[in-house]
Amino acid sequence: MDAISRPHRRSALKMACGAVLAGLGAPRIRAQIAHETLVLALNALPGPEHAGVYAAEAAGLFRRAGLLLEIRAGEVGPARPGPVDALANGADMVLCHAAELAQLASRNAPLLAVAAFFQKSPRALFCHPGQGLDEIAKIKGRPILVGAQGRGETWPFLKAKFGFADDQLRPYSGNTAPFLADKGMCLEGSVIDELISVESEGGIRPVVHRVSESGLDAYDEVLAISPTMPPERQVLVQKFIEATVAGWASYLGATPESRAVHALIRTANAVHSEEHLASARTAMIERALITGGDARKAGIGTMTDQRWKALAGELVAASLVRADFDIAGAYTLALLNRGSAP
C-alpha cells in the first residue's frame, strides 16, 4: 500500500485544524465568509476517479475555503462534450486526460492544465483469456467496445501507435454484458471500474493491456481551465486544488470516512455499489495511481516539466501533434505552489 506523503498529511492536518476552529466559532465565522461559486465539469459520470472531489465535499473543505462547488456530470454517449465545449458552456474547470488536452492545445484550443490528480492513467484494454491477445498489437482488427471517454482520450493514440481502425469500434455505455457474452470482443475501460465489474460480475480474469505501459505515459484526471481566466478566479481554483488534494489524502488514508464519500457518488450515479467503490479505492491505493510517481515526494496533484515534455515526445512519435509543438504553453505549475498566489 502506498503511504500518503508528508506534504499531503500536512495539508490534510491544516484542513482538519481549520475544521476544529470553524466548529468553535461557527455562527460568527460563517457570517464573515463570502462564498464564491466554481463550476467543475467531470469527464465522465461520477465515479471512483472523482472520489477526492467528493471527499472534499463530504468533509466541507470547499465551503471552509469559501467555495460553493457545482459539479456537472459528464456523459457516456456520442454527444459527450469535450473539455473545450465544457468550458465554453460555463464551467470554470474541467477534468480530462493529459493526452487529450495536449492534442487540443496543439490545435490552439484554449486549455491550460493546472493540476494532475492521477499520476498514472487507469485506462486499459481488456480481452478474454485464451484468445491469443497477449500483446496489444494483436488486437488490431478485433471489435472493441469503446465509450465516449475512451474515444476522446486514448483511441487516437491506439489508432496511431498500433494501426487500429474506426471500423473496430463498438458503442459502449457502461454495460459490460456484451463483452462478457462474446469472447472475441475487447473492451476499453478503467482498471478501477470496468476491470472490477468484469471480474466480479463475469467471474473472469481478463488479459489487461494498460495504455500507460504501451507508450502513452500520461497524467489523468487533469484539471484544466481557460488560459484567459482572470487572476482573482485563479486564486479560487488554487483553493479548489488544495481542498481536493486534502480530500484525496483523507480518502486514501488509513481511516477514511469512505462510506460518506461513496454515498455522495452513488447519489450522483446510482450504478456504483458500495462494494464496487470500496474495491476501486483498494485498486487506486495498490496501483498508486494518485500517490505514485512524482506525487510520492511533491504531493498529490503535482505535475512536472519533465513529464509533460515526455508526453509531447510520445505524441510527436505517434504523429498526433506536430513536431514543433511547444507543450509548455498547455500547462502551468503556478497553482501548485500551495499557499501562494498564481
**Dihedral angle over CA of 263, 266, 272, 274, nearest 10:** 10
**Look-up of cell digits 495539508:** 11
pLDDT at 257: 80
Give residue 78's pLDDT band: very low, low, confident or very high (50, 70, 90): low
What mean pLDDT comes out for the span 35-43? 96
pLDDT at 33: 64
| Confidence check: pLDDT of 332 > 90 | yes
**% of the chain beyond a pLDDT of 70:** 87
Q: What is the mean pLDDT of the chain?
A: 88
Q: Structure pTM? A: 0.86
Kindly report, as residue ranges, where domains of CATH 3.40.190.10 are found in the chain.
6-120+217-336
Architecture of domain 6-120+217-336: 3-Layer(aba) Sandwich (3.40)
| Confidence check: pLDDT of 299 > 50 | yes
| Confidence check: pLDDT of 23 > 90 | no
What mean pLDDT comes out for the span 302-314? 96
| Confidence check: pLDDT of 9 > 60 | no
The domain 123-213: what is its CATH number? Answer: 3.40.190
pLDDT at 342: 32
Q: Helix 274-286 crosses helix 51-58 at what angle (to 10 degrees)?
A: 110
pLDDT at 153: 84
pLDDT at 174: 87
pLDDT at 148: 84
Tell me which residue of 208, 34, 24 sits closest to 122, measured CA to CA: 208
| Confidence check: pLDDT of 7 > 80 | no
In contact, 301 and 295? CB cutoff 8 Å: yes
Q: What is the Cα gyration radius of the chain?
A: 20
Q: Could you tell me if residue 273 is left (phi over 0), alpha (psi between -120 and 50 degrees) or otherwise beta?
A: beta
Give residue 337's pLDDT band: very low, low, confident or very high (50, 70, 90): low
**Look-up of cell digits 491477445:** 133
| Confidence check: pLDDT of 4 > 70 | no
Bridge partners, residue 124, by sequence: 189, 210
pLDDT at 198: 95
Q: What is the pLDDT of residues 191-235, one digit of tens each?
A: 999 999 999 988 999 999 999 999 899 999 999 999 999 999 999
Q: What is the pLDDT of residues 172-198, one digit of tens each?
A: 988 999 999 999 999 999 999 999 999
pLDDT at 98: 96
